[in-house]
Chain A
Amino acid sequence: MTSHSSRAPIAQTSPGSRIVISGGTVVSGGTESRVDVAVVDGVIVEVGTSLSGDISLDATDSYVSSGFVDLHTHLREPGREEAETIETGSRAAALGGYTAVVAMPNTDPAQDSVAVVEFVRNAGKRAGLCDVFPSGCITVGRHGEQLAPYAQLSRAGVHLFTDDGNGVQDPLLMRRALEYSRDLNIVLAQHCEVSRLTEGAVMHEGECCTHMGVPGWPALAEELMLYRDIELVRVTGAPMHFLHLSTAGSVELVRSAKRDGLPVTAEVTPHHLSLTDEHLTGFDPLFKVNPPLRTREDIDALIEGVRDGTIDAVATDHAPHTDHTKQMPLDQAPPGMLGLQTALAVTNTVIGLSPTQVVDLFSVNPARIAGIADQHARPIAVGEPAHIAVWDLATTTEISRNDMVSKSRNTPYHGMTVRGRVRHTMFGGEIVVQEGKAQK
């Protein structure tokens, strides 16, 4: 191998070679310990001090944990490959420390059939950068009219079902969906939005939208559906997950539901924890997202929800869009922003996370909700699969849109200084990210 390249040397992970992650602090099972981790053929074979191996991966001053799991990734393939492909999105995921992502079903065609979910899963396998777990639709074509074939899709490995992008509007259909799903060991996940209340809506309904003369998206539209679904969970007993909560009222509704012992879980995105509707006053569609950026009071409530466990997971809602669609007028541009590469740093910068909190919010809890806890977010222990992220919470970097490896570059954080970074990602024993650089 020639050595004139300035890139980090590519670690060869040929069969049988022993990789040692050395010098780091392992965060697993709620404890931190200064140990090395040895991996051979995709499996952790030794955990201890001063280990040696064929290849050494430096983890000095860093934490070593199970790889992250994103509950909410839009990979755009099939159908919108100009914005993202499963391969480019997987690479962004790997750079963000993710070893598994749940692919949202609003593809074209939608992920409402075994054929489409198999396509997505296989394309993920071919990319080989992380596990891609396709979600399924709640309704056929995400049209909100007919139940999708949950049992068939479940047999094909789908655990999480959602019409994300749309909320299921019809309360009768939602009740039936929950009843039908209950015995299948799957979870339905709702995008909470009463669409009649958000027709034409562009951003949070508040003072900013008044000045800007654009239609508002009221908090009520999210909270009404959330309230309805919590009551449907109470009636049906089926578990439910709530996507990208954005309002203070939503946090309180979930908190109260959990207090009642209902089987509900919830996620929040890094952008709803870090940005407000005031970012939209320049009419820049980069800040347009659904649900919309809210207010400082909502952020404070969401952070409190993360701290007290009301919110189980941080999920990215990674939503790539091409430059030309994000240069349309604010009311016509599509909602969504990139998230995979910046999630840990942005969240840590806003909240100030402990290492164990990172593991719970980014790995353990999302893996449990996604139904993949038998494969991902495993303890760092002998015999476990080597899906590992190496990261820190102290290094300061400036986010640049030019560093985005997605096919699109619609990050709202360009130029923002953040704290924390992902150094290495190991997926199935293979070093897919080393020192912040994708290796394949």
Chain B
Amino acid sequence: MKHLLSARDLDRESIGSLLNLTDHMVEINKRPVPKVPALRGKTVASVFFEDSTRTRLSFETAAKRLSADVMTFSASSSSVNKGESIRDTVETLSAMGVDAFIVRHKSSGVPLAVTNWTSASVVNAGDGWHQHPTQALLDAYTITREKSTGNDLAGIRVAIVGDVKHSRVARSTTQVLTALGATVTFVAPTTLLPHDVSAQGAMASSSLDDVIDNCDVLYMLRMQKERMDHALIPPIGEYCERFALTSQRVQRLRSDALLMHPGPMNRGVEMQVDPSELAQSRILTQVTNGIAVRMAVLFSLLGSGSTSSLSQGNES
């Protein structure tokens, strides 16, 4: 694997091997010194044209735990504001010696374009409404390990609730989960559904109440209040009444169901309960797993290919 640009590029087998590799990384992260020299001498550039502190920190932490050097570029404090093109930015950083670019951009397709301008590996850290493949992998990892299903999600029913249309998370997570056999239902008003739901291998429902009793995973998406301004939803109160996780709805969530959210949460909007009080919540587990999954991705792009280097440092 040279790049990780889209969950669509991953088949069941490659997802499985990344998840297995993530098991190694989880083990490393539990050590007293959670660091291995696997990527020593490699340089990883995190290039975030769109701010996202948590994703950037997750990637950078992952790179550091593998002993890679990290170069941080953030658009808000850079030459992008002076009109430098993405191409020039990438070519300039590339000339400094970069082995992998971690790219986040508000426009769909930018990480793919970046591959034209560098010989380094490129990891998509979120582009527009398009893709966020490491989020998809960490979600798959969380569900498979919490449900102890191996790498198989056959029979697992996932409800993804909220603004699916504008969500790269929904788009990529659906692809990975369905590749592993899960059944995904988008729960949203039609205005917040993508144009062609079936093309994404999902089903759709406009009623959270219809699906909440019988889902194995309830995956809530962040709802931006600004959507009201574009006539996508009526006043937020009506949206919440139909699609928010309320204390009443939580009662109907099965005890063995998993409650997930890609973050950041919008408390009081889609989340009207405190997830820290819910046994089903795996929201912080997702965050923890995110580091391990990103370590696995970086290792599979830049590493030697042998997992023996992951054992080094275990003595300490």
Contacts and interface: CB of A to CB of B under 8 A. Distances in A.
B85 A331 contact: no
B107 A206 contact: no
Contact of B194 (A210, A327, A328): A210
B118 to A, nearest CB: 14
A211 B109 contact: no
Contacts, number: 61
A171 interface: no
Contact of B112 (A214, A215, A282, A332): A282
A214 B200 contact: no
Nearest to A333: B107
Contacts of B196: 206-207, 210
A415 interface: no
Contacts of B200: 210-211
A383 interface: no
Nearest to A200: B230
B110 A327 contact: no
A206 B128 CA distance: 18
Contacts of B127: 213
Q: Which of A214, A282, A283 has the most CB of B within 10 A?
A: A283
Given A327-B87, A329-B86, A212 B109 contact: yes
A370 to B, nearest CB: 38
Contacts of A328: 85-86
A209 to B, nearest CB: 6
Q: Interface majority SS on A: helix, strand, loop or mixed?
A: loop
A324 interface: yes
Interface residues of A, number: 20
A331 B128 contact: yes
A229 interface: no
B188 to A, nearest CB: 14
Contacts of B194: 210
A321 to B, nearest CB: 14
A210 B129 CA distance: 9
B130 interface: yes
B199 A213 contact: no
Interface string A195-222: 0000000000111011111111000000
Interface string B159-197: 000000000100100000000000000000000001110
A330 interface: yes
B67 interface: no
B61 interface: no
B113 interface: yes
B142 interface: no
A329 B113 contact: yes
Given A210-B195, A210-B200, A329-B86, A283 B8 contact: no
Nearest to B231: A196
Q: Which of B85, B86, B107, B171 has the most CB of A within 10 A?
A: B107
B132 to A, nearest CB: 10
A283 B113 CA distance: 8
Closest 7 CB pairs of A and B: A283-B109, A329-B107, A213-B130, A213-B129, A210-B196, A207-B199, A213-B108
Interface of A: 205-207, 209-216, 282-283, 324, 327-332
6 contacts: A206-B195, A207-B196, A213-B108, A215-B129, A329-B107, A329-B109
